[in-house]
Structure 1
Amino acid sequence: MPQSRAVVPTPHASRYLQQLCKHWAHRFDTTFTDSDGRIALPLGETRLKASTDALTIDLTAEDAANLSGLRDVVVRHVDRFAFRETLRYEWTEAAPGAREAKEPSQ
């Protein structure tokens, strides 16, 4: 499954994490604390982690098209909550299976 990650510098990471999770909690399977969140959307799964200076967003989807759509939806919503600042998203992508252990060749 394709995966993507962005580490978004902001001192308001916990606030945005909680707002996003609360926003989607009425429609999707959502769990969160002030520092971690998980949202199961139809396009894929979003995992969030807040630190004092950044919001880390990890996305996983069934295919590249869903991953692209999921990224767009998440960014639009976080930007809506962060209207007082301009956030920078620098996405890195992992190839399917890149995080799985590979068997040693003999």
Structure 2
Amino acid sequence: MTAPSLDSSARVATDASARYAKQLASHLGRRIEAEPVEDGWLLRIGSGTCELRPEADALVLSATAPDAATLATVEDVVGRHLVRFGARAGLSVEWSSGTRNEAVAPEELDPA
């Protein structure tokens, strides 16, 4: 059975999304695990994660954590650093309200 998790996301408008994603991963990668993935970067912050996915006009952030406190930490760390790096460009991060994904046994998953 997979563990329940909370998710949140943010879409940060910028024409330099790839640069900010790489800068964030490089900076945070000194203290946490930051690994390149197919569409961007995956940051592991405690028991939570945040995917950084650059798009042409925005950097999409997708956070996941097992509980509200960890999700808040992931949002704070990623959001605070990104805002600081993008201060001159006026970047702001507004996370969507989290949603809860309930635990599901693997045999209950729809294979389609």
Question: Is TM-score (shorter-chain normalized) higher than 0.5?
Answer: yes
Q: Which runs of 5+ in 2 are unaligned?
A: none
Distance 2:82 2:67 in 1: 22
- Is 1:44 aligned to residue 48 of structure 2? yes
- Is 1:16 aligned to residue 20 of structure 2? yes
Distance 1:79 1:88 in 2: 6
Distance 2:56 2:86 in 1: 16
Match of 1:95? 99
Distance 1:89 1:25 in 2: 20
Distance 1:59 1:66 in 2: 10
Distance 1:11 1:96 in 2: 31
Task: Give TM-score scaled by structure 1 length.
Answer: 0.81
Query: Bigger shift: 67-76 or 85-94?
Result: 85-94
Distance 2:90 2:38 in 1: 22
Two-structure CA RMSD over aligned residues (Å): 2.3
TM-superposition CA deviations, 1:77-99 (whole Å, max 9, x none): 0011112121233322342217x
| Residue type of the alignment partner of 2:56 | T
Deviation at 1:24, TM superposition (A): 1.8
Are 1:14 and 1:35, in contact at CA under 8 Å, matched by a contact in 2? no
Aligned residues: 101
Q: Which runs of 5+ in 1 are unaligned?
A: none
Percent identity between matched residues is 32
